[in-house]
Structure 1
C-alpha cells in the first residue's frame, strides 16, 4: 500500500513507524517530512497543497493521512481536495475541522448537542475580553484559532490574564482572532482519542499529557512535555460515562449537522467533581500523546486507516496492549518562548529497547542536531505504570545536548493517590 503522511513532527514520525510495522507491505511517503522521517518515508518536494494532490494522483497514492492540523484548514482543505481527486484521506473535511480551528465554533457545537463543557463568552477586543473577565480569576483564555498548542492560558491572577491578552490583541502573536473567556474547571485531565468513520467510532487508548515546561506543573504552557497512556489510566466506568456523554453525542452531532468526519478525533477532558467536561477538540491525534499511544496499538493500522478513509470502520484489524507507555519529551534551550538550533545530540545509540521519535532535529554529517523547540520523544513501556516510568526515564537519561530541558515527573505526577 502506498501511504503519504502530511506533517513533519514527532506525531507523524510515530504514525509512520506504526504504518511501517503493519503486517502488509507499505511504501511510505511524507510531506514535508524531516531528516528523521526520511529514513522510513520518502519526502515529497512540492509547493503547496494543490501540487501535493496532483503528485499523489500521478504517483498512485492509495491513502493520505493528515497528521498536522493546519493542512486540514489551509486553502480548500486537505481532505476536501483529496475527495475531489478521488484519493482516500484519513482526516476530516475543512468544515468539520472547525472543531479545532475555532474554539468558539467548538463551544457552540457542544452547547447545541448538550455535551458537557465549561461556560464561555467570546470577545473580539481587549476591552470586551476585560469586560467578560470582570476581574474574576482564575479564568481560562483561549485564542479562537490554531496556535500550535500555545493558544490557551490558564490564568490564576490578573497579571497572567493581561499578559495573554496583550499577546493576542496587541502583539497579535497568533494572528487575527477572537478570544474565548472560559470558566475555570478543576480536576485531573485526560485525553481520549476516537477513530471516527461517519456515524461509527472506535476509542483508542486513553492518555494524559503534561503541558507545563517545569516539574510539578509549573512554568509556561508548552505543546506538551510528555505523556502517559494505558487502558487502565482511568476506571472503566469513567470511560463508559465519557463515551455516553461526550463521544457518542459528538459523533451524532457531526452527522446531524452534515459535517463529514473520517479520521482521528481528540477529546481533551477535565474530570470535574460534576463529571467529565470537554476542554477542547483536536481533529487529529494529540502530540505527544500519539507517541505514547502508538506503541500500544497492535495489528494493521495501515489497513484500518485505509478502510476508515473509504467509509468502513474495521475494528477487527486492531487490538490494544493492556500495559503502560510513557513518553518523555526533550526540549531545546529557550523553549517555549523560542528555541535554539544546532546543538549536537548524543546518546541516541545507548537507549536500548526504548523508542525515539524525532520532532525537532536535523542531520549534519554523521550527527543529529537540535532544530526546534521539542526535539525528541523517548518512549518506553511496561506491564505496570512504574515499570514504564522507570524504563522511559532511564532511556531519556542516555540522551544529551546543550541546553536540554526535561521533566523528571512525567508519568509520576497526578498518580500519587491512584
Structure 2
C-alpha cells in the first residue's frame, strides 16, 4: 500500500510536477495535512488550507526573521534579498501600507478601466494564431498577453519586455522553494540588471506620473527606501506575468481538447466568466503558498510545531471532494449552474495575503478567451504540450496548436 510519504516524494519527481493531480487526490484521501519530517507539512484539504490562509497571526509568510533562523546565507544572494524585501514575504502590520499602495492600482474599479487596453493586447496576440495555416507555439504568442499588459502599465517598451520576462522567469523559478534552488547564482546574476533597468528606465521617467504604476508607487514611497520600491516592482512584474501566463496556457489547452466549448464561449459571456474561474480552480497557476507556524498548534488533527513550514497546496484544495462535486472533472459552467459558489475558488489566496493582482488576472483571462472565441472556429493540439519542470508554477515551455479562423459571416 502506498503511504502518504511515498506520495509526497512522488510529487517532486518530473512526472509528479507534470501532472500532480492524481497524487493530490491520494493525499486528500490519506492525509489532508501531511507531515514531512519534523519541520515541514503539506496541506491539501480545502478547509485545512482555508484555516491556514485566514489566520495570519498563527500562520505567517516566511519573512526575513524566518530566513535568518533557517537560511543564514540568504542576504548573500541578490535575488533572495530582493524578494524578502517585497510584499510576498511581508506580514501584517508591515505589509499593510505596501499592500494598500499596490491595491489602489489593481482595484476592481481600476481594472475595469483597463479593459480596452487589455483587449488591444489580446487582439495582437491572437492574430499570430490565425495568421499561420500551420502550427504555432502559443507560448510565443497568445499566452504572453499578460507580459505586454503589465509592460504597458509600467511603461516598458515591447522591445524590452521579452528580455525582462526571461530574467524575471529565471529570478522567480530559482526562488520558488525554501530554501531556494541550488542554482540560485543564475538568478543572482540577473538581479543587478533588473534593478538597473527599473532604476534607469522606469523610475527616472515615470516617478512623477501617477497614471503609471511606477509613478503611483514612487510618489508615496520614501526616497530612502528605493531598494524596497524596486524589489516590489520586481515582484509585481514577475507575479503579474507568470500567474496569468499560466492561466492562459491551461485554458487554451482545455479549449484545444473541447471545440464545442470554444463555440459556446463565442456567444455566452456568462459562461466565459465561469470558464476562467474553472481553469483557476481545476489547474491553478500557482500550486503552493508557504506559511510558517508562529507557535505550536494543531491542524486537521496533526500536531504542528512552532516554525513548521507549511506548503498550502492550491492545486489540491480545488480538487477536494468535500468542497467541490466531481472535483477532477473540468466543468466550464460549474459557477453558472449553481453547482459551486465562485467565492469557493481561493486559488489566488484568502484574507490579508490574497493576490492583489487577482482581479487583473481574471479580467485578462476573460478578455483573452473572448477574443480567441470570437476569431477562431477550431483549435487543436499539434503535439503533446510540455510543461516547465517546476513544482510551484504551472507554465508551459511548448504548446503547439493549429487553428481554423472563424468566418466573418
TM-score (norm 1): 0.28
Return the structure number with greater relative CO, CA threshold 8 A, min gap 6.
2
Q: Which has the higher helix share?
A: 2
Greater per-residue strand proportion = 1
Superposition TM-score, scaled by structure 2 size: 0.28
